[in-house]
Homo-oligomer: A and B are copies of this chain.
């Protein structure tokens, strides 16, 4: 690949039609004709560096975003200053719905590593929904998914033990890896232990100890940020999915 081509990549827009994440993202279920319309309004801003904010609590809500590469975390802040991470967003996953209620974001969104996103500007979204019935429908699906995700997390925080939470977290990542046609039993964590702990409502030390326990029990292999799931069945058994075989 020539140096010239490499420079061009920055300016090159990946069309929705050709994006390999299209089935997970805005375009899900759309016709080719509809995809062309999408391409016309979807913007692809400069990549975010690690620790760059995509948006902050209080920013006016201008768009919804899809992660194209990397990983973005969203977190809410409380009155007395502590933070709760509410989501880690992988490529193809959407964020920004938190701004829909009042037109102002109520979360911070921060890149965990170098990441790129696609933007769907809200001022165009309204018109586009009129023209593209598929998008209208997809928007509803997206929001429903967000709600369901949050509910799962509520269940996790409200009812599970630390062990179940971490197992559940690993399984969630694993199945999202599979959705993306990546290995579902071997992946890298893009977030530090501290963020996992925050997300799961526990102390860093507990995360660390549980990783050690799981490793001792040969359920997973942990090498710094690299996770290998050795015994998926046992992991599922921990969270109570009692479908061992059967």
Contacts and interface: CB of A to CB of B under 8 A. Distances in A.
Contacts of A86: 151, 154
A211 to B, nearest CB: 20
Dominant SS at the A interface? helix
Contacts of A159: 78, 82-84, 201
Given A130-B130, A241-B79, A242-B80, A102 B154 contact: no
| Range, interface on chain A | 35 or more
Given A147-B150, A239-B79, A141 B100 contact: yes
A240 B84 contact: no
A99 interface: yes
Contacts of A136: 126, 129
A58 interface: no
A107 interface: yes
A106 interface: yes
Given A84-B159, A130-B130, A136-B126, A150 B143 contact: no
A57 to B, nearest CB: 11
B201 A151 contact: no
Nearest to A243: B79
Contact of A97 (B82, B143, B160, B239): B143
29 contacts: A76-B151, A76-B155, A78-B155, A78-B159, A79-B239, A79-B241, A79-B242, A80-B240, A80-B241, A81-B240, A84-B159, A86-B151, A86-B154, A97-B143, A98-B147, A100-B141, A100-B143, A101-B147, A101-B148, A102-B141, A126-B136, A143-B143, A146-B147, A147-B147, A150-B150, A157-B201, A158-B199, A158-B201, A159-B201
Interface of A: 76, 78-84, 86, 97-102, 106-107, 126, 129-130, 133, 136-137, 140-141, 143-148, 150-155, 157-160, 198-201, 239-242
Pairs A-B, 9 closest by C-beta atoms: A100-B144, A80-B240, A101-B144, A158-B201, A150-B150, A157-B157, A84-B155, A101-B145, A143-B143
